[in-house]
Amino acid sequence: MEKRFVYADNAGTTAVSRTALDAMLPYFSENFGNPSGVYSVGRASRRALEEAREKIAGTVGASAGEIFFTGSGSEADNWAIRGVAEMLAEKKGRHIITSAVEHHAVFNTLEWLEKRFGFEITTLPVDSDGLISLEDLKNAIRDDTVLVTIMAANNEIGTIMPVREIGAICREKGVLFHTDAVQAVGHIPIDVEAMNVDMLSMAAHKFRGPKGVGALYVRKGIRLPSLIHGGGQEKGKRAGTENVAGIIGMAAALEEAVANMDENMARVSAMRDRLIDGLTKIPYSSLTGHRTNRLPGTASFVFECIEGESMILTLDNAGICASSGSACSSGSLDPSHVLMAIGLSHATAHGSVRLTINECSTDEDIDYILEVLPKTVEKLRSMSPLWEDRLNGKF
């Protein structure tokens, strides 16, 4: 098979769509006005900005006044969590509930609240599919619980959390619920009303919008404190001249993703399932995350007796971009906390490989991965002393 370039790291970031790019381009040097300006070019920017806010709100069942733009998904996560902490620490308490598989943007923010401000964090465990137990959640909520923050879908293993049920429990108990929906928005249906979500984070670059722009949905009535002090932008809560072009690109990308969602979900998950079926045929390999209740584009695996980073580098030499949660590829010395949380051993977790496709992927891309990846595993295993042990029945 001829060498080709296959981008399979769409959970890392995506290519900006033509629609988003075309929508953005006029806002760099033609319609460049500051949205705070009272003259016509300023007013034009303001109108476009507010239109974008309206569109984005519409895609998740929110109203425009509940959408606040940020500079990233991480910023939205930080703002939601730090904001609630600041708002309720004195009034209600210092207890926050989360899951063991959150993104570092949530995880490290909570750790910081714990260390610096004496918050108590309850981290709900997950089962081998990466799901929390709703019973555990109910039991964990206390009088001083100020926030539950649980992601909508996991970035490493693709498992989709029972957001609606989590929301219902939080609503019943009168606790605020934030969900990091960075991997979910634009890919699976999200409705903040139906799901009882109080705050929700998203990032444009995960659904073919530009990098460096995100949003936080904050339910009307929640008086989240300001994140950046300064001018009056974002109702004075996040000062700084808006990333107008980025925001417009975000809205255009999301609108397109939502308009095509049914079709994309069907086509992308069919390709994902070909990857899963094909690659789990490799001996001593397994899928990570829930088999069916997972993001349409996420196919994630562990291959025993090989190490993820060397897989990624070898795949890259063959033109395939993938990622891994192994220690060596994360730049730390432990494999990802997500892989540990679903109960994998260190040794197994080192062999993780994540392929994330989207609507730009083609059947030929999948054919190519199915052709190349098994050979890559075989090549690395042939030089792995662990594989020799495995074949000799030593473990």
Partner 1 sequence: MYSEKVMDHFTNPRNVGELPDANAVGRVGNPVCGDIMQIYLKIENDVVVDAKFKTFGCGAAIATSSMATELVKGKTVEEALKLSNKAVTEALDGLPPVKMHCSVLAEEGIKSAIADYYKRQGIDPEPIVGCIGDCDHCCHH
Ligand X SMILES: Cc1ncc(COP(=O)(O)O)c(C=O)c1O
* Distance from C-alpha of 305 to C-alpha of 359, rounded to nearest angstrom: 32
Instruction: Identify residues 376-395 at the interface with partner 1 (CB under 8 A).
Output: 383-388
Q: Which stretch binds ligand X (CB under 6 A): 45-53, 67-75, 259-267, 354-362?
A: 67-75
Nearest to 162 by CA among 188, 123, 142, 201: 188
Q: What angle do CA 290, 325, 100 make, to 5 degrees?
A: 60
Give the Cβ contact number of residue 119 at 10 Å: 20
Q: Least Å distance between CB 395 and partner 1?
A: 9
Q: Which stretch binds partner 1 (CB under 8 A): 100-108, 159-167, 286-294, 302-310?
A: 302-310
The entry of partner 1, ligand X, none that residue 128 binds, CB within 5 to 8 Å by partner kind: none
- Candidates 310, 336, 358, 361; binder of partner 1 (CB under 8 A) is 310
* 239-275 burial: b if 16+ Cβ within 10 Å, else e: eeebbbbbbbbbbbbbbbbbeebeebbebbbebbebb
Asked if 329 contacts 309 with a C-beta cutoff of 8 angstroms, the reply is: yes
Q: Is 249 in the site for ligand X (CB under 6 A)?
A: no
Q: Residue 171, CB half-sphere, CA atoms under 13 Å: how many?
A: 15
Interface size with ligand X, residues (CB under 6 A): 13
Asked if 46 contacts 64 with a C-beta cutoff of 8 angstroms, the reply is: no
Give the Cβ contact number of residue 64 at 10 Å: 14
Q: Are strands 95-99 and 145-149 parallel, antiparallel or unpaired?
A: parallel
- Candidates 139, 241, 260, 317; binder of partner 1 (CB under 8 A) is 317
Q: Is 103 in the site for ligand X (CB under 6 A)?
A: yes
Ramachandran angles phi, psi of 270, nearest 5°: -65, -40
Ramachandran angles phi, psi of 116, nearest 5°: -85, -30
Q: Which stretch binds partner 1 (CB under 8 A): 2-10, 70-78, 289-297, 341-349?
A: 341-349
Q: Is 309 in the site for partner 1 (CB under 8 A)?
A: yes
Nearest to 75 by CA among 191, 246, 298: 246
Residue 42's Cβ-count burial label (10 Å; 0-12, 13-18, 19+) is middle
Q: Least Å distance between CB 259 and partner 1?
A: 39
Report helix, strand or coil for 334.
Answer: coil
Site string for ligand X, 360-389 (x = CB under 6 A): ------------------------------
Q: Is 88 in the site for ligand X (CB under 6 A)?
A: no
Concerning whether 328 is annotated as a catalytic residue, the answer is yes
- Candidates 105, 163, 279, 380; binder of ligand X (CB under 6 A) is 105
- DSSP letter for 385, please: H
Q: Least Å distance between CB 211 and ligand X?
A: 7
Q: Is 328 in the site for partner 1 (CB under 8 A)?
A: yes
Q: Is 204 in the site for partner 1 (CB under 8 A)?
A: no
Q: Is 155 in the site for ligand X (CB under 6 A)?
A: yes
- Candidates 182, 218, 302, 349; binder of ligand X (CB under 6 A) is 182
Tokens 């989207």, residue? 358
The entry of ligand X, partner 1, none that residue 297 binds, CB within 5 to 8 Å by partner kind: none
Q: What angle do CA 221, 204, 362 make, to 5 degrees?
A: 140
Q: Least Å distance between CB 310 and ligand X?
A: 23
* Distance from C-alpha of 338 to C-alpha of 354, rounded to nearest angstrom: 13
Q: Is 72 in the site for ligand X (CB under 6 A)?
A: yes
* Distance from C-alpha of 279 to C-alpha of 267, rounded to nearest angstrom: 19
The entry of partner 1, ligand X, none that residue 288 binds, CB within 5 to 8 Å by partner kind: none
**Looking at beta carbons, which residue is closest to ligand X?**
73
Nearest to 71 by CA among 212, 260, 235, 228: 212
Nearer to ligand X, 82 or 94 (CB): 82
Binding site for partner 1 (CB under 8 A): 305-310, 313-314, 317, 326-329, 331-333, 335, 345-347, 350, 383-388
Q: Which residues are catalytic?
A: 328
Residue ranges binding ligand X (CB under 6 A): 72-74, 77, 103, 105, 151, 155, 180, 182-183, 203, 214
